[in-house]
Amino acid sequence: MNAEAAFQGRTLVIVDDDAVNMGVITDYLETFDLRILTALDGQDALETVRAAQPDLILLDVVMPGLDGWEVCRRLKAEPATCEIPVIFMTALASTEDKLKGFEAGGVDYVTKPVRQEELLARVRTHLKIRQLTQGLQVQNARLEKMANELEGLYRQAARSNEQLEHMVHQRTRELEEAYRMLEMMDKAKADFIQVAAHELRTPLTLIEGYGVLIEEEAECSPGLKRLVEGILTGERRLHEIVANILDVSKIESQVLQVSKDPVQMLDIFEGLRSQFESILRERRLELTMSGLDGLPALLADAELLTRMFQHLLVNAIKYTPDSGSITVRGSLVEEGGNPWLEIVVQDTGIGIDPAYHELIFASFYQTGEARFHSSGKTKFKGGGPGLGLAIARGIVQAHGGRIWVESPGHDEASCPGSAFHVMLPVLEAS
Ligand code: ADP
């Protein structure tokens, strides 16, 4: 037997009404590893092919009853058999006859009398093509299956996506609602602070008024005078705190009124120097100023700027140990093609950890622990309510400027110091 891979386990149906021709071909092809089935007429051929589902059909054209062309047409019309290749065996040699065979669905033809080698070559070729086609069909089916699975996954992903979107929408709605509530609560808090601060100012003014009267009456009673002075000092500190709270609430609700008048930095700092003179002396702190006298005037709110630098100086005093120094430097700089005043308030104090450089500008924020809080306004490390820098930033921003701090870190032993930078736009140079 001539074993050939293309033939192994393959089934051939040979259809011919001429038993002699059939015998010759069958005998020859059976020497190869092929399974051969035979049919003697068209009807027989249809039944055999339907039942056996062969890999190739050799089909005689001229037969009594159904001829080869009709058999081929019927096979091609049935889904179960339409893929099986048909090779015609024909004694009719005209081009028209060959064309008729191709039109009926044949893939090839051999002419009778059949030459065995030629027949074998064609059988081999078409079995190979059939094998490749079947391989492709398997691949195709696999690909189709994968495509279906992918589609399933895609649909699943789309469903998950929809669910996620729904959750995100719901979350967004919840967050919007929470935000609205927070806004309302924030507004209520700001309103309360403003009303409370206003209400506190009235009794404080009364205390101050009566205190001053008692102070005058107590001229000849040093003991009483000292007591009243104590009351008045506490009252003034309380007054300042209430004023700070009011400032912060105005800044936070963006209702801070800023007037625009020509302001000289030197004037502001001369005023502040005399205001802090006795404290500086008491704490043996040196205050030096440079570069302030040559600066152009700003169109700004002198009172607000004074309050802002007052907070910076109070902090510099508070966070610098006795015998330290505070330096105020002014300069005219250019940024973005515009002139700006840069004022730096630098101290030789305990410094600020870079992690807090932004946080300290938030309202009510203080570094360190509240339980170590001391309320002395200018005592070393005497904390305040944590409003000074929030007010300072609010005032600077209301003037279109910027404020930030530079400090290598916090160290109460080595005192690395802090430098607060204030940049104010020179809206109109005078
Ligand atoms: P406070 O009323 O606590 O002084 P501030 O808003 O003025 O509030 O300052 C916030 C915090 O920033 C302070 O508690 C302090 O820790 C830190 N701070 C501010 N200025 C200085 C400074 N010059 N040196 C060191 N720390 C400072």
Asked if residues 293 and 265 have their Cβ atoms less than 8 Å apart, the reply is no
Predicted confidence (pLDDT) per residue in 289-341, tens digit: 999 998 999 999 999 999 999 999 999 999 999 999 999 999 999 998 999 99
265, 305, 303: which is closest to 430 by C-alpha? 265
Number of the ligand 1 atom closest to the C-alpha atom of 386: 8
Which residue among 317, 319, 415 is best mutated to probe the pocket of ligand 1, counting the most ligand atoms within 8 A of its Cβ?
A: 319
Number of the ligand 1 atom closest to the C-alpha atom of 383: 3
Please state, as a whole number, how many other Cβ atoms lie within 10 Å of the Cβ of residue 397: 13
Give the pLDDT of residue 340: 96
Number of the ligand 1 atom closest to the C-alpha atom of 387: 6
Please state, as a whole number, how many other Cβ atoms lie within 10 Å of the Cβ of residue 372: 9
H or E segment to which residue 20 belongs: helix 19-30
Give the pLDDT of residue 377: 63
CA of 31 to the centre of ligand 1 (A): 106
CA of 223 to the centre of ligand 1 (A): 36
Give the pLDDT of residue 376: 57
* Per-position DSSP letters for 352-413, written without gaps between them: --GGGTTGGGSTT--SS-GGG----SSSTT----S-HHHHHHHHHHHTT-EEEEE-S---TT
Mean model confidence pLDDT for the chain: 91
Nearest CA to ligand 1 atom 2: 384
Nearest CA to ligand 1 atom 11: 366
Predicted confidence (pLDDT) per residue in 113-132, tens digit: 899 999 999 999 999 999 99
| Angle formed at CA 180 by CA 176 and CA 184, multiple of 5 degrees | 170
Number of the ligand 1 atom closest to the C-alpha atom of 350: 25
Give the pLDDT of residue 97: 85
CA of 326 to the centre of ligand 1 (A): 15
Give the pLDDT of residue 214: 92
Give the pLDDT of residue 370: 46
CA of 394 to the centre of ligand 1 (A): 15
Which residue among 248, 310, 352, 374 is best mutated to probe the pocket of ligand 1, counting the most ligand atoms within 8 A of its Cβ?
A: 352
How many Å apart are CA 27 and CA 19, to the nearest integer?
12
Give the pLDDT of residue 371: 45
CA of 411 to the centre of ligand 1 (A): 14
Side chain identity at 2, as an amino acid letter? Answer: N
Give the pLDDT of residue 366: 64
Nearest CA to ligand 1 atom 7: 388
How many Å apart are CA 131 and CA 9, to the nearest integer?
12
CA of 203 to the centre of ligand 1 (A): 29
Helix locations, 283-301, DSSP H: none
What residues line ligand 1, using a CB cutoff of 6 Å? 311, 315-316, 319, 347, 349-350, 352, 360, 365-368, 383-390, 418
Q: What is the pLDDT along the chain (430 residues), one digit of tens a residue?
A: 555 777 888 999 999 999 999 999 999 998 988 999 999 999 999 999 999 999 999 999 999 999 999 999 999 999 999 999 999 998 877 888 889 999 999 999 999 889 999 999 999 999 999 999 989 999 999 999 999 999 999 999 999 999 999 999 999 999 999 999 999 988 888 888 888 888 888 899 999 999 999 989 888 898 998 999 999 999 988 888 888 888 888 888 787 889 999 999 999 999 999 999 999 999 999 999 999 998 999 999 999 999 999 999 999 999 999 999 999 999 999 998 999 999 999 999 999 999 999 999 987 766 655 444 445 566 777 666 678 999 999 999 999 999 999 999 999 999 999 999 999 999 654 4
Nearest CA to ligand 1 atom 19: 315
Give the pLDDT of residue 244: 87
CA of 45 to the centre of ligand 1 (A): 105
Number of the ligand 1 atom closest to the C-alpha atom of 410: 25
